[in-house]
Every structure is written in C-alpha cells, then in structure tokens.
Chains A and B, each alone.
Chain A
Amino acid sequence: MKVMASANAQKQPSASGPFIICEGLVKIYKVADLEVVALQGLDLQVQRGELMAIVGNSGSGKSTLLNILGGLDRPSAGRVTVGGLDLLKLSGREFVRYKREMVGFVWQQTARNLIPYLTALENVELPMIMAGRAGKSGRAWAEQLLEEVGLAERRHHRLSQLSGGEQERVAIAIALANKPPLLLADEPTGSVDNRTAYQIFDIFRRVVTNFGTTVVIVTHDHSIASKVDRVVAIRDGKTSTETIRRLDVDRDALLDRIILGETHDEYVVLDSAGRLQLPREYLERLGISGKVKVELEDSYIKIMPASGKE
C-alpha cells in the first residue's frame, strides 16, 4: 500500500459543512442522589477528514462526549449532528444502524475491543457478520485491514497471544470493519510505549488519508498536539482551547513542498454566548479571581486584574 506523505495538514473546508456539529451539548448523570453535570454546554465542530484530538483531565467530560458521538449515550440537552444525522432524533433501530455503519470505536481497555476466544481475523469479521455483510468479500476486506495496520501475519492469533500494542492495532482494524466515516478512539495510546504510540498515530493518519475517515481521539496526554491536526481542550464540560497545527510551507518552491518547521497556534475558544475560559496558569500568575477588567484596544482586547483585588 502506498503511503502518501501528507504535506497538507490544514483542515479542508468541506463544501457541505462540518461533519460533526455540537451546539450547547449538555449531559447530566443522576446516580442515586448524586447529580453530575458532565457536559455544560459544549460547542464543537469537526470537519470531514480531520484528524483531531480532544484532551482534558479526568472528569472534564471528554469520555462522555465520545460516548455521545459514538451513539452509546444520549445527551440531556443541546444539539449534535454527525454526517447530517441529528442524534437526538434517532429511533432505537436507527441508533443501532448508526453505531454499526457510521461509527467505529476503539475503547480504552483493549480487552473490550477484542473477543478473547476469536482470532484477530475473526474479530475483524464479526462486525461485518452482524451487519450481514460477511462472506468472501468480507474476509478479503478484513485481511486488507489487518495488513493496513501491519498485522497480516498475526491474523490467526488470539487476544492472549498479542502484545498490548498489537491488540490496539487489531482494535482499530475491527473499528474500521464496516467502513464507517467516523472513527473514535478513547485513549488509544494510554498503555503503550512511545514507539508503539507513534505507530498507532501513523495508522490513524493513513486511515484519514486513504479512506477519508474522520478521526476523533480522546486523550489526556497534552503532548499529542504534535501528531494531530487540531487539538481541542475541554475543561469543566466545555471547550476551552483549541490548538491547530500549522505547517510552514515554502510556497515558492514549485516542485517540492518543503516543510520548514512546525509551529502550533493555540487558541481559546469562545462559546455562542461569547464566553471564554482563561488558562489557569495565567490566572494564577496574576492572582486573578472573581472579576477582571476588560478594555477594548484598537486591534485587541485587554484583560487586567481588577484593581484593588487580591
């Protein structure tokens, strides 16, 4: 399989609009007497064919968001559209179809992704069987997927015979079995070493390039920014910052695009009400809490600690 060097890491504006749209997404859990607000009005847009990551500390709501996108949970309020489908309006049967055809999921615990007593190949075939699409073509596609993730020679091995990284890779193949346009991964590199993590991201990128899949990764590893196109940080159930990777390209070279360097621009996201979250380090450095003074300058807005406040 040819792997193209992707020089164009910018997000492609899609003619039909963003692939995923989340507006004011709210999710509240009620467990016995406890009420937990996991998402507090989250806004997010993901373009088709984007490789993006969602980061946040534990409790920030990122797993909840992923579950909602994956059709495993329903939001309490707000709006979420994936590929034009309004997730709040899906019936039970349509949900099942959504999970089967539109989404591929790679879970955090690899044991959940694979069925222990089936071989890797059988595991990849399983979603196709459930969709009624098995048979010779299914098998061929399964083998192709395993080759894509570099495990062709391990296809007859079972879960216990694969290493952690290999299990992760098989999980990705399984998630892609029914050719979903959206691939979700929950902490895919959580329990593997750096080299394997790199391998895995490489696979994600190939998937985006070859199949046009939109890939959303959830992780708490903030250094992931270098490997994906866009990183959205979630804090307290809302998006707080976005980091976009930008390649500096020499536009003058006509034959080759030479990558001069990588820079990251970090942005703070405003929600629909115009609110934003200031990075904690800034607040702490200046001892800001409670109120700030905001002044409009010519081309920027100045934020200052309120005078007299400690």
Chain B
Amino acid sequence: MILSILQMVLKRIGNNVGLTIATALGLVVTVAVVVGVLTYADGVMERLLQADLTKEADRPPAAVLVRHLENAEQPTDMRQFQHLEDYMENQAIGVVGVPVLFRVRYFSADTMPLYIGGVDDPRVANSTVYARPCWIEDVEKHIDIIEGRLYSEAAPAPGEDVEVIVSEDAAMELHLRLGDRRLTTGPDKHKGEQAMLRVVGIYRAKDPKEPYWIYDPGAFYNRLLLSRAALFSSILQPIPEVRHEYSWYMVFDHAQMHVTNVGRTITGLYRLQSRVATIMPSTKLDISPLKTLETYDRKAFFLKILLFILSVPVVVVVLYYIVNSATLVVDRQRAEIASIKSRGTSDWQIVGIYLVEGILVVGVALIVGPLLGVLVAQLIGKAYGFLLFAQRPPLPVSLSEQTIQFALGAGALALLASLIPAYGAARHTIVTYKQEVARSIRGGPWQRYIIDIAVVGIAAYGYWTLQGKQSVVQIGEAGDVFMEPFLLLIPAIFIFAVSLVFLRLFPFLMQALSWLATRLGSVSISLAVRQIARSPGYYTPVVLLLVLTVALGSYSASMAETLDTNYSDHVLYRTPADLVLQEVWEYNESSKSWSYPPLERHQVPGVVHYTRVKTFDAWPTTTSNAPKGTIMGVDPSDFVKVAWYRKDFSYNSLGLLMNLLAAQEDALIVSPAFLVDNGLRVGDEVTLNVAGANIDFQVRAWTSYFPTLFPQDGYFYIANLEYIFDHIGTSPYDVWLRLERNAKTADVLEALNKNQVYILDFQDGRAEVGAGRTDPQRTGLFGVLSVSFIVAALLTVLGFLMYSFLSFQRRMLQMGILRAIGLSSGQLLALLVFEQVFLILVGAAVGTAVGVFTGNLFIPYMQVVSDAKDMIPRFVVVTAWGEMVRMYLLLGCMLTLALISMAWLLARLRISQAVKLGEEQ
C-alpha cells in the first residue's frame, strides 16, 4: 500500500511540476540561507581562532603551564605530589581533549646559596651566590655539552657529591668552573641540612628558540641542572625548608583546535585548573590559552547572533513565499481535494498526502540546500559593501553538527509552512468549495486584521523602546559588547508593519488609479488596471513580497552605506590624509637650529600632493586662567589639496576657510566655544600664547569641527603655519600626503627614504579605513544583507512569474472573449505586460519609500559608541541612492527575464481556442 501511495504522490507532483519546483526552491533556499550564514560564521571564526592563537609571538600557541609553587604554610605533601604527577601524566591531556605536541616537566627548588667552603667560610661572606637546582625533563636532548659530561641519572649515594651541569652564562655568573664543588643549604644555614654539589659539565642550548624552552635558556644564568632522582633525594627531601616548584608544560596542537571544539576545550581547561588545585593546593594554570579562547568564544557568539538576527527577515520572506506558492499549488488542486474528501477522507489524511509530498521535497532540499549553503557562505565572505563583492581567498568551510541541526530545523519549519494552505483547503468539501468560489476571491489569512494589528503593535513598541536609548549596541567599560538582539529586528518589523498597512490601502489606490486609467483612453491600460482593481486580494501576496524585498533592500543598502561612511569618516577625522608622516629632524646644538628634509623632497612617484601641519598648545591671553587649547598651523593652499573635510563641519567649505587664511597672514579660525565663552565675534583681535610667544591674530571664521581637533579637548584654532613659525622659529612638523589611488604605501615610503626623507613614524589613513572593511563582523553584515536581498529578489521574481502565469491561465476564457470581440493580439499582450509592469512599479515605489523612511528613522540607532568622543564626527544617515540603483538594476533584469519567459509561455497557450473550449476545470 505504501508503494501505491507513493506512486500516487509522484503522479500528483508530476501534475503540478512547475509549481512544485517553485515551492521546492523556497525550501532549498531556506536551508541554504541558514546553512550559509552559519557556515560563514564558522569559517570566519575558524580563521580568527587560528589568528588569535598564533598572535603571541614569544610563546607557542596553545601552551599550558601547570605550576605548583610551594606555599610556606603548606609544605609539600609527597603523596599529593604523587597524585598530581599521576594525574598530569595520565589524565590531564585527555581532560583538555586536544592532542598534545610535547610535554616537559620542570621541577626545581627555590634559590639556594652556594658556599665555596663551609657555611661560615669568611671568603665568601660578601659574595654568596644563589642558584636554583632544577631538573628539566629531556633536557639532554636539547643541549650540547661543551665541557665535561652530563650528570648521572642515578641519585648519589649518601656522602657523594650531587652532580650538576650549568650553562655557559651560569658558569660565568656563578663563578663556576668544571670540577668546582659548592655547598648548599636551606634558608637556615646552620640547621645542618646541606648538600654538596659538583659541576660535572657545562652546556649550551642547541636551539634557544625552540618551543621546548619554556623559559628562555638565557634566563638560566642561575640554574643548576641535575637529574630528577638527585633533585629529590639530595635536595628536596633532605632540605625541606626550601620551597619546591613543580611545573608541567604542555604544548597542544592548535591546528586541532576548531570552532567546533572550542567550547569543550574551554571546559576542559577549567576542569584541569580545578582538578590540579584540588589534588594539590597552590597549583595553578600559569599559562593557558583560556583567555584567548574565551575572548574568541564570545566574539564568535556575538557574530553568530548578529548574523542570525540579520537573516531573520529574509527567512521570514522565504517562508512567506513558500506559503504562497504552496497556496497556489493547493488552489489548483482544490477540486481534487474536495472530491476525495467527499468520498470520505478525513482532513488529516489529506494533510497526510501533502505531508508525504512535502517530505519528498524536503528530502531533496536537505541534500541540495547545504551544498548551496556552502556557496552562499563563500559569497558572504566576499562582500565588502551592499551587493559589492571582492575577490578574496575562500573560507575554510565545514558543516558542523550545530549547522546540520539548524538546517534540519529550517527544513522542518519550511515544511510546516508549506502545509498551512493544505490544512486550510482540507476543510472544504465540494459543497463548501463551490460556495466559496461563488463569493468574491478572498485573500488568505494575511488579509485578516489581527495580523496587521499585531505587527503594527510590535513595531510601535519597538520604536518606543528605542527612543530611550542612544544606540542598539553599547560597549561597556570592560570592552564587552552589550546588544539587545530584538532591537536589531525592529526596523525589519517596522517595514513589515508599514507594508501591511499599505496593502490595506492598496484596493483603494487601485480604484483611484482605475478611474484615472479609463480617462487615459488606452484599452489595454484601463483593462489591466481594472483587472487588478477588481480582485486586489489576488495580487496582494506578490505585491507584498515585492514591497518587502525592495524595502528591505533599500534599508539594508542605506544602513550598510551609512555604517561604512561613518566608519571611514571616523577614521578619517583622526587620520585625515592618505599618509601622515613624522620625520627625522636633526637638531644642531651649536646653531640651535633644525635640519630637516625640504618639502620638495616629498614629491616622489605616487604622491599627488603634500603639506605641512603642526599643532601646538595655545593659551588665549585675553583671560587669565585660560584653559589650554590647541592651535593647528597649516599652509592653506596646500592643505586644501591634501586634507579630508566634511561639509557639515561648518557653514563654509574647506576651500573658503583656507582662502581666508591665505588672504590674511594673521587670520585665525576658531572653535565656536571659544567665541561664545569669551564673548568674542568674528573680526575681533585675539592674542594667543603659542610655545612661549604671544602671537596676535584676527578671528576670521569659526568651524564646529576640524579633522584631528576635538571640542572635548578644549578650544581649537587654525592659523597659518608660516606666520607662527615667524614668531617662534621652525620646529618639527608633520607632513601630510595625498597619494594616487593605486600607489602602494610601502612603495611611497621606500621612495621617500631613497629621497632622503627619513621617517620616524607614520599613520596610514587608507590602511586604517581598509582594515575595517575586512573585519568579520562587517563582512558578515554586508554579506548577509547582500545575500538576503539577492534571495528575496529571486523569490519575488519567481512569485511574480507564478502568479501572472496562473492568473492568465485562469482568465483564458476572458481573454478568448476579448480576442473574439476584436482585441488584437498586440493589445492583449500590451494588457498583460502592462498589468505586470504596473504592479512592479507600484511595489517598487512603495518599497523604496518605506525603506528610506525606515532608514531615516532607525539607522541612527545603529551607531556603536563607547564614549562621547567616539561620536565625532557626527553620525550621518546616508541614503544609498547609488546602491539602490544597483538594486533596481538587479531586480529589473530579473523581472525582465521573467516577463520574457512569461510571454514565451503565453504564446504556447492558445488563447483563441479558449472560447471554443469553454470553461475548463
């Protein structure tokens, strides 16, 4: 029986291939998006993990040091020590769970005195040296004995000397030579606990840079190496007051640390930490990658949350699309369902049929989806702007368990979505079905007011919540990021709400337009508009889809552009030129003057322009106790060609300001606070004390902001550098450069060097802006937004295609009649095309309006600030018209393709036959 059901289901699918594929595509896309976003997050975090782990140059990554330093109050309990050693030997590595590259044990005693003769030998009263006897596991493999020999492994018999070896440095430091004997005691040298040490060899480390050396061998200038047996039997046991130190050093294979097992590793390390402290108190993890891992883990978590939140709108859009195309499928099958039901099938059996169909389709989706998802992940990784992709090396991709779980969940969700219309239809019998056909065409539950009210309510609540905050994200003092994910969703919810409201008004809009259209006189246009006006409910889902897509797209584009612009403005305010150089100046004591590279020398290949800039502290002499301010000296004609400035900093352009300086050598541009606080006006004369000299200026203009100058730091002024130097003499200044677009910073620096311009330090404005672009969070942000839009656009176009085609099929008879009464096929085609174009235009226009409006309302909350200074320059909302044009082009191309394919499909329907055949089921 299962076989026959399956056969039937397959035949069913075959009957509706086009629509089923369309629905299936929705399912595939759901899975692909979920897998893509998660895989991207995993991939980029994997890269970040390895980068973070290997960041510390002086230590191998993933090194762990378990160290016990004996506590004076708690003498070493040898039994505890045994336990600990057992544990470290057998279990420790398993607990951490990562393969280990190598281990080294390092046991030592605290510093002990070395006496040449007896303890009271006057010869060494003032020059007692101290050394630490220690044993390092496997040390013999890592050193070369240059004099003498290695110590013997066995413990010395009582009365025998303890054999030790020392490094060359130690030999020098401790005044030891081969064969020397030294007496060593505990802290109380008269207690009688002592040992006699004899230097039997001098060594040198084979490769001091080896990861083997926990401590730099150079630090062994006071260490005596001996065998483990000797250490215990001759030093640690007989002289109990000496502090013991036991260390286990392990280097784990960081290449085996992945995103997928970071959590476990962190837990393992904590377990290790608490275990060793329990077994033997005062044992700690002195070195471990815990902090790195935890920081990383938190970063990864936030990234995932961020990307997840960003994907929610597109997933909702896809689910909506699935419900719609499933509705179309079910609508076509209504008669069939009604007839089956009337023969005595329960609702659940009918849903069951759809469930079997759905499972087959979901099965396909779960195979194709993840593969597509991997591609999506790579695409996300290549984004650097909205719908802008760069060539970048591919991400390491792997499908983690979590991703697969989410994929299954997404598939199940999509399946449920596709079953909603089935359940709705299952409740009709033929009788009720005919009743409903007789009534006007209703939209689905989406048209019910309750959903509108709910969504608008949530959006309003969200907006009200945001009013009280400055930003969606706050950075606390510890540098931790605090973000309410819900707030990131609010703009999307708002867009949904406004779109739904618009759709309520859509029928009225169409009525109005239909009245207008009849005045236009074109048959095609008025018929098309009337058709839409008559049954607006039919088209609502697709128009909603289009509006949502365009709105989300324009919002995303604007948000991305805004964040990008503001980020680079933020950087540029602090580094306002392509290169800011601090150069090497030489001060001649005798002539009390500086020698420095002349400006012309900066004209090297790649440099477009250059200028001098210098800032000094300045005090206005007008008032006593005047607060310190900053004065920036510039060369006006050059400065304007090099520096970055933003229109909203003042009423005047930079050019105008510089003209004022150029025209008058004592001109001064000031911050408005200076004028206001001191009751001054433009045109007044002021005197500033700069570097000890009083200089007269005349105020010619004011500006709220100026690159590198912050009102929080006090008053600021801008004046002619030359004028200032006239008063105080030339002193070292910075040189700002503007470079050609494809000039490489390194090349320019080298060229300058060759030209005898020696650079002390430099700031690379372009690099800093560029660095932000590859930040995984930003890449993820832009990537997900871009992919979301592409997906939504694709589905919208598919939706349009399906709806139009089906609507035409249904209206075959109507169209046949139109042809029969004299409408030419050209006019008919115009009618159909116009209908689609009209819907698209309305949808796109409304979508744009909604998106831009939402952007202006909510984007300011997307600013990330940790302190007031970060808010300079001011956050400006940019409406990304340029990006949106790109978006329209993409959408337009897709829709044109859809229209063309629809026209082709239509040509295959023989409309003229429709009248003959009559109404078909």
Write the chain A residue with the least CB distance to B333: A115
CB distance from B435 to the nearest CB of A (A): 7
> Does A130 count as interface, using CB distance less than 8 angstroms?
yes
CB distance from A67 to the nearest CB of B (A): 6
> Does B149 count as interface, using CB distance less than 8 angstroms?
no
What A residues does B15 contact at CB under 8 A? 116-117
> Does A181 count as interface, using CB distance less than 8 angstroms?
no
What B residues does A203 contact at CB under 8 A? none
CB distance from A258 to the nearest CB of B (A): 43
Contact between B346 and A111, CB atoms less than 8 A apart: no
Give residues 419-450 of B contacting A (CB, 8 Å).
Answer: 429-431, 435, 438
| Also in contact, A134 and B4, with CB within 8 A (given A73-B431, A111-B335) | yes
Contact between A105 and B435, CB atoms less than 8 A apart: no
Write the chain A residue with the least CB distance to B438: A31
Give residues 44-74 of A contacting B (CB, 8 Å).
Answer: 67, 70-73
Contact between A97 and B431, CB atoms less than 8 A apart: no
Task: Tell me which of B211-219, B299-307, B336-344, B525-533 binds A.
Answer: B336-344
> Does B101 count as interface, using CB distance less than 8 angstroms?
no
Chain B, 328-368, contact with A by CB distance < 8 Å: what is the 0/1 string? 00000001101110111110010000000000000000000
CB distance from B11 to the nearest CB of A (A): 5
| Also in contact, A130 and B349, with CB within 8 A (given A73-B431, A125-B4) | yes
Contact between B335 and A99, CB atoms less than 8 A apart: no
Residue among A101, A113, A122, A134 making CB contact with B339, cutoff 8 Å: A113
What A residues does B7 contact at CB under 8 A? 122
Contact between B1 and A129, CB atoms less than 8 A apart: yes
CB distance from B25 to the nearest CB of A (A): 22
> Does A308 count as interface, using CB distance less than 8 angstroms?
no
> Does B12 count as interface, using CB distance less than 8 angstroms?
yes
A41–B438 Cα distance when bound, in Å, is: 27
Write the chain B residue with the least CB distance to A102: B344
CB distance from B892 to the nearest CB of A (A): 38
Give residues 1-42 of B contacting A (CB, 8 Å).
Answer: 1, 4-5, 7-8, 11-12, 14-15
A134–B3 Cα distance when bound, in Å, is: 10
A113–B335 Cα distance when bound, in Å, is: 10
Contact between A129 and B8, CB atoms less than 8 A apart: yes
> Does A93 count as interface, using CB distance less than 8 angstroms?
yes
A131–B1 Cα distance when bound, in Å, is: 11
CB distance from B791 to the nearest CB of A (A): 32
What B residues does A125 contact at CB under 8 A? 4
> Does B921 count as interface, using CB distance less than 8 angstroms?
yes
A127–B430 Cα distance when bound, in Å, is: 16
What A residues does B339 contact at CB under 8 A? 107, 112-113, 115
Chain A: interface residue total (CB-CB under 8 A): 36
| Also in contact, A126 and B340, with CB within 8 A (given A100-B345, A117-B11) | yes
Write the chain B residue with the least CB distance to A122: B8
CB distance from A105 to the nearest CB of B (A): 6
| Also in contact, A31 and B342, with CB within 8 A (given A117-B11, A118-B8, A126-B8) | no
What B residues does A116 contact at CB under 8 A? 15
Contact between B344 and A130, CB atoms less than 8 A apart: yes
A70–B336 Cα distance when bound, in Å, is: 18
Contact between B430 and A98, CB atoms less than 8 A apart: no
Contact between B8 and A130, CB atoms less than 8 A apart: no
What A residues does B12 contact at CB under 8 A? 117
CB distance from A193 to the nearest CB of B (A): 19
Contact between B343 and A127, CB atoms less than 8 A apart: yes
CB distance from A122 to the nearest CB of B (A): 7
What A residues does B430 contact at CB under 8 A? 72, 107, 112
A116–B16 Cα distance when bound, in Å, is: 12
Most buried by B among A31, A73, A126: A126
A132–B2 Cα distance when bound, in Å, is: 10
List the 7 shortest-distance A-B pairs measured between CB atoms, nearest first: A100-B344, A99-B344, A117-B15, A134-B1, A130-B345, A111-B921, A96-B346
Q: What are 27 residue pairs bridging A and B, where the CB atoms are less than 8 Å apart in the complex? A: A72-B430, A73-B431, A96-B344, A99-B343, A100-B344, A101-B344, A107-B339, A107-B430, A111-B921, A112-B335, A112-B338, A112-B430, A113-B339, A115-B336, A115-B340, A116-B15, A117-B15, A118-B8, A122-B7, A122-B8, A125-B4, A126-B8, A126-B340, A127-B343, A129-B8, A130-B344, A178-B344
Knowing that A99-B344, A127-B344 are A-B contacts, what are 16 other residue pairs whose CB atoms are under 8 Å apart, sorted by A's residue number?
A67-B431, A96-B346, A99-B342, A100-B343, A100-B345, A101-B344, A105-B342, A107-B430, A112-B335, A112-B339, A117-B14, A122-B7, A126-B340, A129-B5, A130-B340, A130-B344
